[in-house]
Amino acid sequence: MTVLDPRSGVEVPGCAPRIRYSADGGAPRTPSRSAPVEAPVFHQPFARHRALGYGLVACGAALLPWLCLLASGLLPTKLSAVWVGLDLLEAGALIGTGLLTARRDPRGVLAAAATAPLLFTDAWFDVMTARHGGELALALGTAVTAELPLAVCCALLAVRGFRKRR
């Protein structure tokens, strides 16, 4: 059976026709040969996952200049080695989760489940170790605008992925 494009009337190669079900919920009825079949709906099922994945990769890559700044000692703190290690883990987790999500790899769910607690932990420690004033404002700002939304995104990605696999 051929599928015709409704606008041009030209046959669309490699497309299966839609199956129409009868109103009473019975067996599917196939269209008659004389009536043209509806053209299939073409959409990009992977576009949302691909965009989300590349967005996570971009966020992980954006952490790399911050890591260089922390590692060079321009921001002297007692905990700079801890922050470098934690931010390095976050960058790797975000990049890994993003690449797996963009490829729709099932392991992306596990990577997202591991990335979310890292981001929550970093936001918590940033706010708790910040001194009063500008440092606390910066810690709260980055937690609210970057770390917590990314953590929620990864947590939702993990929960929805686990729910689909049941």
* pLDDT, tens digit, 9 for 90 and up, residues 94-128: 999 999 999 888 899 999 999 999 999 999 988 99
Residues 1 and 53 in one domain: no
Residues 68 and 133 in one domain: yes
* Structure token pair of residue 6: 């409704």
Residues 34 and 83 in one domain: no
Residues 112 and 145 in one domain: yes
* Structure token pair of residue 147: 């770390």
Rounded-to-integer distance, Cα 71 and Cα 106, Å: 34
The pTM (predicted TM-score) of the whole model is 0.68
* pLDDT, tens digit, 9 for 90 and up, residues 1-15: 566 666 666 666 655
Residues 35 and 52 in one domain: no
Instruction: Domain of residue 129: give its range.
Output: 47-164
Rounded-to-integer distance, Cα 25 and Cα 31, Å: 16
Instruction: Report the number of distinct structural domains present in the chain.
Output: 2
Rounded-to-integer distance, Cα 148 and Cα 152, Å: 6
What is the Cα 131 distance to its own chain's centre? 33
**What was the pLDDT predicted at 40?**
46
Residues 140 and 60 in one domain: yes
Residues 69 and 33 in one domain: no
Which of 131, 126, 56 shows the shortest CA–CA distance to 95? Answer: 56
Bigger pLDDT: 93 or 50?
A: 93
Residues 56 and 19 in one domain: no
H or E stretch covering 123: helix 107-129
Residue 154, C-beta contacts closer than 8 angstroms, at least 6 positions apart: 56, 97, 112, 113, 115, 116, 119
Residues 71 and 106 in one domain: yes
Residues 76 and 145 in one domain: yes
H or E stretch covering 138: helix 134-142
Is the per-residue pLDDT at 42 higher than 50? no
Residues 159 and 134 in one domain: yes
Question: Do β-strands 28-29 and 20-21 pair in parallel, antiparallel, or remain unpaired?
Answer: antiparallel
The residues facing 28 across adjacent strands are 21
Residues in the chain: 166
Residues 9 and 64 in one domain: no
